[in-house]
Structure 1
Amino acid sequence: MIDTGANRTFISFKAWHSTNSKQFIKKIQRRVLLADGQSSIFVYGEITLHIMLGDIQASIVALIVKQLCTDCILGMDFINKYKLIINTEDRTISIRNNDKRLLLKLDSNSSRVHSPARLVNNIIIPPKRTISIPVSINSSLQTLLFRPSFKLQQRIPLIMLNSSLTVHNRSSFISLHNPTSYSCSLPRGIILGTTTVPTLSFKKESDIDQSLVNTYIDKLIQHLINPEHQKKVKLVLLQNAKLLDTSKPTIAFTLRPHEIKTLDHPPPTSKPYYSTPLKQEAMYKIIQELLYSGLIRPSYSPYAAPALLVAKHDGNWRMVVDYKKLNNITIKDNHPLPNMEQALQLLGAGYKLFSTLDMKSGFWQIPIAEADKHKTAFITPEGLYEWNVLAQGLKNSPPSFQRVMTDILSSCRQFSLFYIDDIVIYSRSFDDHLNHVTQILSILLNYNFQLNPSKCALSWYRKFIPQFATIAAPIHAITNLTKPNKHKFRWNDLQKTAFLQLKQLLVNAPLFLNFPNDNYPVILTTDASKVGIGGTLQQLIDGEIKNLYYHSQVTSSTQRRYDPIELEALAIWLCFQRMRSYLLGRSIIIYTDHCPLCNMMNSSVKNRRVDRISILLQEYNIEKIIHIKGQHNCLADYLSRHPIKHHEEIFDEDYGINMLFDGEPLVTVTVPDVESSFLNAVITRSKHKQIAQQQLLSPQPLPIDITTTDSPVTRPTNDEASTSSSCNYFNIEQIKIEQANDPNIQRKINEIRDKVITSCYILDDGLLYKLLPMHANSKRKTKVIYLPISMADSLLKAYHDIPLAGHFGVKRTYLKLKNKFWWPGMIQFITNYIKNCLLCQQYNISRIKKPGKLCQIPTPDGPFQLIGIDFCGRFKRTPRENQYVLCITDYFTRWVDAIALPNCSAQTTAQTIFNDYICRYGVPKSILSDQGTHFNNQLMDFMAKLIGYNHTFSTVYHPQSNGMVERFNATFVPQLAKLHDHENNNWDEYLSPVVFAYNTGIHSTTQYSPFQLQFGREPRLPIDKPSFTYLFHKPNDYYAQLQKSLNIIHKLAHTTIIQQQAQYKQSYDKNRSDPIYDINDQVLTKIHGSRSKLDPRYSITPRIIIKKQHPIYWVEDQTTQIVHRVHVNDIRPIVFPSA
């Protein structure tokens, strides 16, 4: 054998003795490392071999070893000495000695190089079972072909299949199946078969689908303008044409097959999914194709995962396997995947040429270790099969594929990136790039990989920010700090300079945005995801793409529930709204990766939302809507998955909020000059929702005049303010007129003129002022305007309602006014006015205890009369598939049952209550639960009527109604967290011990343990000392004694519970109001659930009480007529101004 991977020439002892040579052996004892980098063989000595090849006599020093897979191996020392040339196309070898040259034909029969596969241990194979057994192979090759021994199979009824073996440390695994009904045994050392070296398939041109390959090559090089470059790239692709031949699948010769390491767990099994006859026929055809291609094989495995069909876009079917159960017991492979941020930084470091390679069905090219193939078994209506290759859906598929690529392409990491089945090659010049591409294609060809030509791209030129990695280095130095070093973050001059430099590069060619050209149509490309929507506006001018506008935004929680077609149509509509000024009047071409939208402007798509959007788009000149593949819609897809949460045009929020415009501002705010101290704040933009609510509740115009202009922000002079028409609520010039019409003020003025009063009031320039002390104990006084009562409302609108007043409370508003105005009952008037403010009622936080005194559940007279039920979870799924805990608490004994469950469906809930509680303790009188769908459903209602118990529901968003169960949930969760194994996630194994510990502990309310109240005796714990004396009672005597003991402790516990409840109620009710509302009262109800900080805390529109059962009220929304059941502490009364 000629081996280019061997540095030296080797000969086996057996072959050397067969030559009958008298030559003296030079003894050298050492070990030689084999090609796998792990195995080694022992060298006994060396001799000089004389070899006759035709009429050429060659000699070489060879090392003697005990065993080889062949008689002799000629290594690189022989190849270099005699200048061997191996021609793989003609399958010939040329050898030269002095002036002679000899041409020898290659022998392609690899079966001549074989090694026996011997059984390592004595084994017994149970009946009807398949087991994987270890065998020893005298070969260091990592991949061998196994052929079972024909004679052995004639003697024993065992089934062995031809297979590919992965050899590690001269050992591998072979699957044996025993189809009989009795056990079979095999002795150690028996030869099960032979292994041969797999021959590399040297395909001739006629063996390759050349027309298909030529088509792929033409597409890959058509963008190359330089004919010389095109010719060179085509030559490289032709030399590696087998990589592009996708006529049938291939399995790579990988260094490491995929291994599936599982926990010590029984093999998970499932029944085949039900399917229609049409799907069964489709499944059968797919299975036959996979069998024919060698990707799967029949299986006798105890594992069984269900297979199902998923419809593809072209109407065909794709088979997928549900490996959830297998993945749950599979040990995670932590082999790292590349960091995409670092990869992008590397690509921007001055590289200009890029090529991308994509594997054809990448996972199916990676073999699975023979010992683990049975774990991939999947079940169909036709039978059980297992994968020979890496199946999609297996837990560790990505890291395993990444490990393979890292192993084989490690020598090319200076100019390539590989992320699972995608490879990026980057270079600075064409010659370098061609050399790099050639190296990687050669490696992939040697390992028998197959590319997907339709997804490959060669020698593309891309524009990046020049020297991005160097410029951004100071920023990355502080933004990539590890968690323990976060405190070292410092934004200094270096970071500021780098940031400004990057911003400057972004607004210069080739990355800046352009103005639209009216001579060309605009191209809008959109995409949507569950996170957000994104869109790009571009123009194709003279073959070059010009970027006009980018847009992305977060979708709301409601929008995330849209169907895909609705979400994609929404992306188009929102981009049109945002880019309206660019799109109106121009010809528009829309690109979307959602094909059903292509005809939305021509005909109905049978979806109300989409049809409505198409109607709204009629005002635009949309030429056509074109479908684009998702893989080509990268930019819009990125924008949709990384949306901008807060879009504010005049602020830059990257590294803090700084004004983006250092020159002239965009907004001028003109404020009427009532007094300098009246208005002391300016807003430039108000939120749409707040304005809408203010317009709904207060139709008067806003008291600020905001106009867009090019001049700086200015404040009018006093003269301008006096002559301009102000839209403020309060006009100070009106005071003198209103004082003349106010009888109380006129009476005070007459008294001053008649000198009846002189100390409290003063008349100045026709206005009446009130004299007030400057401070509490001050003798000095200041004069403030005596405000006519008719102007008090307009004054408070200016000092409370408008944005510059801020809707603050009574004290702050009064302190603003007390040094300027006064009128009788001023504080009470301000208090009543602010109480009547609907916005304050909706948004303000209450600083007092919630209203509603404690209404306690009557204490049951004994156990099993009232139980509370509630779900706790969802927890992380355990190997037993559990995610939830159903807690059942007895309201008298405080006895708790907690059952771990895989889900919280209505059916699971009803079955658990019946099997784990009713069948154990009997039927309770009443069950108390919340209004979750798992409790409030027809199944639970039917069970309550059938069995005979009363089911009561607590008030929505008022967990205190079922507080005992809620309290236990808060108690046991921390205990589970302390005990469970975080790696194995086995919290359900500790659930019963934690509940037992709770039930055997003294309860603070009853002063007894739940165990005592339940069973009438003290619990015996594992740590208690064993009793050596036994006292036997008659059963009748024991029952009487038990009944007597239970009656005593139940009475004591009942009395204690009532006392504890009374103490708790007294503490709870202290300083707490208990308002009682009447039918037809208008109120606001608290808004629960997700709410932003700027949303109202109470309902926008008033609600009317239509039914009451204090502290529970039924309120009806005046707009939607929907009735809600709420607790009194979620109600806020609406205070209307008195007539």
Structure 2
Amino acid sequence: MIDCCNRHVTCTTKTINKLVEHIDNPVQRMTAYMMLYQYERLFDDSCVKGINCTPQYAINTGSHAPLAVHPCRVSHINRQIINEEVKKMLHNEITSPSNSAWASPVVIVKKHDGSSRFCIDSRQLNSIKQKYVYPLPRIDDVLERLNGSHIFSKLDLRSGPDGLWQFNRLPQGLKNSPSVFQRLMNQTLGSLRWDICLAYLDDIVVYSCSFDQHLIDLSKVCQAPNNSNFKLNNNKCSFFQNDISFLGYKISSAGCLPNDDNVRAIIQFPTPTSSKAAHSFLQMVGFYRKFIPRFAQISSPLNKSSAKGYPFIWTDSEQSSFDQLKTMITSPAVLIFPDPVKPYIIRTDASGVGIGVVLLQEQIVNRYNTTSIYKPVAFASRTLKPAETRYSTIELEALDIWWNVTQKFHSYIEGQQFTVETDHKPLLSLMKKTYHNSRIERWMTTLQQYDMIIRHISVQHQTAAPEIQRIKKSRRLHPNYIIDNYNVLFKIVKRKSGQQLHLRYLPASLIVEVLSAYHNSTFCGAHFGVKRAFYKIRDRFYWPNMYKDIVQHISSCINCGKNKPSRRKPDGHLQSIKPPRGVWERLAMDYVGPVPESKSGNKYFLVLTDLFSKFVVTKPVPDNTSTTAARFLLYDVFMIYGVPLEIIADNGSHFTSALYESLIKLVGCCHIKTTPYNPQANGQCERHNATLVPNLIALSNHSRSNWDEKLLPTTYNYNTTRHDSTGYTPFELMFARSPRFMFDFISPPSVPLTTDTYRKTMQQFMEHTLLAARNSNLRHQLKAKQRYDSNRPNPQYYIGQNVIIRNRSLAMNKFSSKFIGSYTIVKQVNNKTYVVQSTKNNQQTRITVQDIRSI
């Protein structure tokens, strides 16, 4: 019994440790651990007892005769799964034996991760069962409550809706199960819902503005399901996160984005070959239509191809729509969460195909509250009905305002003043005069109940033509502009030297051509940098924001990106590996060499480092093969010091061969491979190599033929020297005693100890020493990260983004391109590492941000 309890405590402790290990601040991590440990019963899946809840659920079939569906034939493997699941449910009192005349068969469904789910086929029962009505919350209402939140936690409940057996609790598969379970969740959380947490079926999200407040909020939320005896699905829970995935969206303090997995599924969707496939694609993309401007207009060709009763036709128009939707979903706008206090702006856009709108709201973009911009809350659009395609321009623009104000965004703007922006100037008097048009009059009558201001905005990307016309019509020229006899507008510019220049005022339609001429062309630009291009252009032309446009053009030049070296710090913040909690848990291994051949024929030496104690094991070897590495591990490491939990090594063939992998698997050790061309991933081992090599050189003879004889003394002196990271020598942490050197002639007096006394003394020494070393490691790692990250760019890339990567070819020379591509981002491993896929051969490569450039 004691062993079982210990195992339970150990499992719960490991589970909670894993859930908070991502928190960088040690104090916050410990505080979060202690708070969650108060509710350890939530994380214990060893025994699933009944939920303490008041609502009872009965299956109401009216007067229908009992239905008994024959069981399905199952394989031997599935039969074992069913038997094990039935035994488990019997033990946990979820089911009990039954002699009922009603029966539904069991089916085994494969999950995405390859495991199996035990389900009941309730289709026949659902067809005769009376519906139980209880509303589920709207997803958009749930998301909009997250405004102002900066830290999130997600709880996934495993105690949701679950021979002849009968269920004692609500099973999965019944059509009323979601409604019953949602009602149960609402009763369990009570007034906490919509205040500090949101619940959608078995998913609960807790949101707060700070870490300290989140501790309080999360404790309140955990208490409710804990009291009701709920259990958490530990693998799907996440705590104290800056961003989470929830209801198909990626949620952060900045707003929400489509979930990366769903975006990847859309990108990989093959070209439809039937109406059903086209309809499926539209359904997938349509879920995220509020992220895509003019979605209805873009998807219009696909709507016709997916319509029932019409022949499937796939032309260039449908292909263009298909490709454009894929492109836009890979770079969606971040939608901010609405703030009910701030005013809204509705910006309309009508065309002959459809009407669209974007709902905007002001957002502060710096911490000093001095700069703000308008960011989108949602996009909306729809195609025109056949009758609406015959509307006049002003009718279409008025329809756009009426539809968006009264139909689409009524819940946002009702009861407060808002602004409608339109590029159709006649609409400015929409609310002020009477129209001899019954349709517009009807719309205006509806709009009068809103506190609405209509404002005109000019079309984007205006050229200089309006400015020229204004100056021409003026009786007196503007003092800073002149027009020559050929109607060319000039800007009068005075230099500091007193020189006055007449610069051609460049219209917007020619800016790109001039930028290309003075940067891309062979004779005027030759791909020189920003300053050289700016000096050339500013002496000949003028337009507003010239320098900004030049910077943007040159920074987006693919040829420059591929061929010019970067003279700044490598991109990417330091991705710290969580330090191990004890000695000999995680090791790092590497080959050093080739070095000058010794008299014994050795050209390399192997280095193995314990990442906790910093203890180093080395051995000179004649080659760098996998056989040599495997023999070193087996005879010089495992059989002397024991087997660790993990070994970190690079992607060299000596560490990835079948022999090496077989040995690692045989002894029960985990092999962690570093990212290619990223020595920082095995940084501690590389640092020890850099320390050992100069000392070896200093001790060796002039020809370096005896370096292998000096390797063991060098390693011993390293292991017996105090390490800054831990505050102890590696020898002390490894063997729990201080080393005695050859010249220590006077030994300290020894006190005779019994075996028990010695054991207790050593235990106290190790507990104190390991705790001090662990804390010292954390502090040292935090300081190292702060130094490394200081003033270093940390770009983030999104799934589907096109990039180029650093050229690592062995055949590189000074005229080789520094970067090659293009590649597509297909997966984000962590904040610094991505998986990219070649657009030519679909080959995937794991790479860090310092070797990536955006196109």
Assess same fold via TM > 0.5.
no
User: Higher helix fraction: Structure 1 or Structure 2?
Assistant: 2
User: Higher strand fraction: Structure 1 or Structure 2?
Assistant: 1
- Higher relative contact order, chain-length normalized (CA < 8 Å, sep 6+): 2
Of structures 1 and 2, the larger Rg is shown by: 1
Give the alignment's TM-score, normalised by structure 2. 0.44
Give the alignment's TM-score, normalised by structure 1. 0.34
